[in-house]
Every structure is written in C-alpha cells, then in structure tokens.
Amino acid sequence: MNLLKRTAVGVIGVPAIYLLIRAGSWFLLALVVAQAGLAAREFYALAGKARPLARAGIILAAAVPLAVFFAVEGRKPEWAVLALLIAVAVSSAAALGAIDSVEGAISRISITGFGIFYLGGLFSLQLFLRQGPAGADWLLLAYLATWCVDIGSYLAGSVLGRHKLSPVLSPGKTWEGAAGGVVFAVAAGWLAGTAVLGLFGPLTAVLYGVAIAVAAPAGDLVESVWKRDAGVKDSSGIIPGHGGILDRFDSLLLTVPVTLVFRFLAE
C-alpha cells in the first residue's frame, strides 16, 4: 500500500513540478513559498522542545522567497540578501518580545532564526537558478540529479548494503548505497546535463554528479539529525507515502546551491 501511494504521488507530482519549473515566474514562486513555509512548520514542530517562535518563523520563512522573487525580477540580487537578513533580525526581535523567561532564550532565538535562514533562504535559491533562458534546464537538472541519487542509493543499498555509512545519524544508509548514488548522479549529469540539455561537457558532468552525490545525502543527514532528536520517523504525513516536505525535499536544499555554483562556472 505504501509503495502504491509513493508511486501515485510520483506520477502526479513529478509532472506537476516539471510544469511549474518550465512555467517559472509566479508558478515557480508558489512552489517555493509552499516548500519553505511547510518545511518551516515541520522544522519548528521537530524543534518543539526548544520552544521556537514557530508562527513568526513560518511566516517569515515563507516570505523570504517573495522578497527574493522581486529582487530577481528587478535584477537586484542584493535586495534578496537584505531581505533574508531583515527576516532573521525580525524573528530574533519577535522572539525576544515573546520570551517570558530568560531560560532558553539563546536557543529559542537561534532556532527560530536558523529555520528562516536554512529553509526560507536555501529553498529560495531555486529562483536564482531559474533565471535566464537556460534557467529552467538547470533547475530541472538539480531536481533530476537529486532524485537519481535517492533512487541509486536505495537500489544499491537494498541489494548490496552491508556497511553502515552513519550508524548514529542514519542507520539505514550504507556505503554501498552511497556508491550507487554516485553512479546514478554521474549518469544523470552526463545524460541530462551533457547529452540532452547541453549545459556542460563530459568531464564537468562527472564532477557535477560526484558533487551532487555528496550534497544530497548530506542534506538528508541534516534532517535525520532533527528527526532522531525529536524521536520521530517522518517530519509529517503531508505527502502520502513520502512523509513530509522535509522528507521529500531535504536533499534539494544543498543540491540546488551546488548546481548554482556549476552554472556560474559553466557560464
């Protein structure tokens, strides 16, 4: 039943994301705002013991992509940086105003600001990557390569997995699975990035695949730490068969910045 749900979500979700990326503009913005806001909601729920200022954090994390969008559209990226800094400052000030005791004040303020910066800020990088005529191709490549790492890691880990990659952080991950992720990511980089989209050459495709194969599980391990600390299996149940927004898109938070770097180098 779980496999059926996962398959159904993939059949619907993948084409939907493809269309939103191709359409760009307000359509992509809607996707990014939803990702940032819902992921922040899950993050603050996981961090509930620290009593973060969740409501303000969620609103501001969802607002960061809006500020970035207008900065990108206005060709003024410095505005996006300013907006992110203001969001973190506002959340910190709001946290101070809401604190009824100095006990735990540092962690409350820090966690609230971190959620805005990490989720609102990193999800917003998709809007930078989508800029320009080739932007849709680069963003699609980031999604495709990320998913290929997940698929390769799962298949290789299921069949060959013997040696634990990180027993403390994520007992289910193995070195064999990680190797499978590298193979699939390199294949995605070469087939999509070079043969189909023509974004870079064969050597760069290999380097890109390796970089993505490192970034994707790193993003997943970050969320694994949060979930193990909170004592839960999934960040939420909002996506049938997949868990929460963080469960599905945690790797993307680090693979999009990596893709952005490769785009800068390629252009």
Q: According to the model, what pLDDT value does residue 199 have?
A: 87
Q: What span, in angstroms and rounded, lies between the C-alpha atoms of 161 and 171? A: 11
| Helical packing angle, 135-160 and 122-129, nearest 10° | 130
Q: Is there a contact between 130 and 139 (Cβ–Cβ < 8 Å)?
A: yes
| CB distance 227 to 235 below 8 Å | yes
pLDDT of residue 97: 63
Separation of alpha carbons 15 and 35, rounded Å: 17
The pTM of the full predicted model, rounded to 2 decimals, is 0.89
Cα 52 to Cα 92: distance, rounded to the nearest angstrom: 10
Specify the pLDDT at position 40: 96
If you search the block for the tokens 């289910």, which residue do you land on?
172
CA 240, 241, 243, 245 torsion: positive or negative? negative
Model pLDDT, residue 62: 92
Walk along the chain (267 residues) and give the pLDDT tens digit of each residue. Answer: 555 666 777 788 889 999 999 998 899 999 999 999 999 999 999 998 888 888 888 988 998 898 888 888 776 666 667 766 776 677 666 666 665 666 667 788 888 889 988 999 999 999 999 988 899 999 999 999 999 898 888 787 777 767 777 666 666 777 777 888 888 888 888 888 787 788 888 888 899 999 999 999 899 888 988 998 888 888 888 887 778 999 999 999 999 999 999 999 887
Q: Determine the pLDDT at residue 168.
A: 66
pLDDT at position 21 is 95
**Domain ranges across the chain:** 1-22+132-267, 25-129
Instruction: Please state, in angstroms and rounded to a whole number, the distance separating the CA atoms of residues 48 and 108.
Output: 10
CA dist 41 and 261 (Å) reads 29
Our measurement of the distance from residue 54's CA atom to the centroid of its chain's CA atoms, rounded to an integer in Å, reads 19
**Quick one: which H or E segment has residue 173?**
strand 170-174
Q: What share of the chain is helix, strand, coil (3-state, %, to 5)?
A: 80, 5, 15
